[in-house]
Amino acid sequence: MTQITYGSMLDQTTSEVLTGEFLLALADRSALPNHPALFQLPDINGGGSQVLKTPQVGLLGFDKMASTGEVTTVGTTALTDASATVTVSRYSKRYEASDLARVVDAHGILNAEMMAMDALATYSATLRDLVANLVDNFSTTVGTSGVDASIEDVLDAIAALEIAAVEGPYLAVIHPRQWHDIVKDAALNSGGAVQFAQSSQAMLETMKGLGYKDSLLGCDWFTTLDVPTANAGADRAGGIFGRGAIAWAQGPIVADPDLPQVNIGPVLLEKDREAADATTGFLMHVNLGAGEQIDAAGVSIITDA
C-alpha cells in the first residue's frame, strides 16, 4: 500500500513552495459528452444480475413486403433478432494519508471535500476510458497505418455509417493527434470547402464535454488521451459511431447512514481509519460497465500516432 506521509509530501511541504497555490499534474480531465450516440442502459440496481442484455429486433421497416398474387397465401417472414450485453463490475480507488501529513497539509488536498471532487472526476475519467477503449473494436475501419488522419478518412467513415443505415447524430471519439491531423488536412487541402460548425454556448453546456472540439461534416468530435494504440503502438485507433454502437450502464451504491459514507453522484465515498497506523483512508467505489452493441453502427479510424 502506497501511503501519503509527511515524508512523501516534500513537494507540498517545503518552505520554498508554500505559496498558497498548487498546480494539478497534467492529465486528461475531459468528460464524455451527454450525446445521443452514447446509449445509457438502466441501472442494474434490483435487477438480479450484473449483466444487462439489450435485444436487437428487426421491426419498423427492417423487412419489406413482397409482391404476391391475388388469392395467394403469404409466406411467413422470420423475425430477425439478436442481442448484446454490458457487464457492470466494481471499480475502486483508495488514498491513505497519515495524521501528520493531514495536519501539515497546506493546500487542502487531504480532506473530504477534495476527495469528493476527485471522486466525481475519477468517475468521469473511468467511464471515458471504458468507452474510448471500445472504439477500436469495430469491424469496419478506415485510415492507413503510419499515415496521418485526413478529411478523406472522415468522409470514408461517414459514408460507411450511412451505407449501413446508422442514424445520426454521430459522435467521434479520437486521439488529439488524430484530431489535429484532420484539422491540418482540412486547412491545407480542402480550399475552404470543409467548414466547422460552431455550437452555441447553451448547447456546449448541455451536451458537450470538456473534450468536445467541434462539429465537422455532420459529426460531433471529442478527443481523449484514452484512445488506444494499434499496430504495436505505431497508430491510434479512434472511431466514429451512431446510437446503438456502444452502451454503458452503472449500479450506484447507496451509502449506509450508519457508516462514514456518502454518495457523490453514483460514486460511494467513504473513510477508513487505521488506528494502529494513525492513517485515514479515502475510498471511492462505483459499479460501471460499457460494451459494443451493434458492430456495424461504428467505424474505427486507425491512423498514425
Domain 137-246+292-304 sits in CATH at 3.30.2320
Residues in the chain: 305
Q: Give residue 204's pLDDT.
A: 43
Q: Name which of 126, 230, 130, 234 is nearest 173 in CA terms.
A: 130
Q: Give residue 56's pLDDT.
A: 93
What is the mean pLDDT of each successive set of 10 residues along the chain, which is 305 residues long? 62 52 79 89 95 93 90 92 95 93 82 92 95 97 97 96 94 95 85 55 47 86 95 97 96 94 95 93 96 97 97
Q: In 71-150, which residue ranges form alpha helices assigned H by DSSP?
A: 99-104, 112-132
Q: Name which of 269, 249, 274, 267 is nearest 259 in CA terms.
A: 269
Global pTM? 0.85
Q: Give residue 103's pLDDT.
A: 87
Q: Give residue 132's pLDDT.
A: 96
Q: Give residue 187's pLDDT.
A: 84
Q: Give residue 199's pLDDT.
A: 52
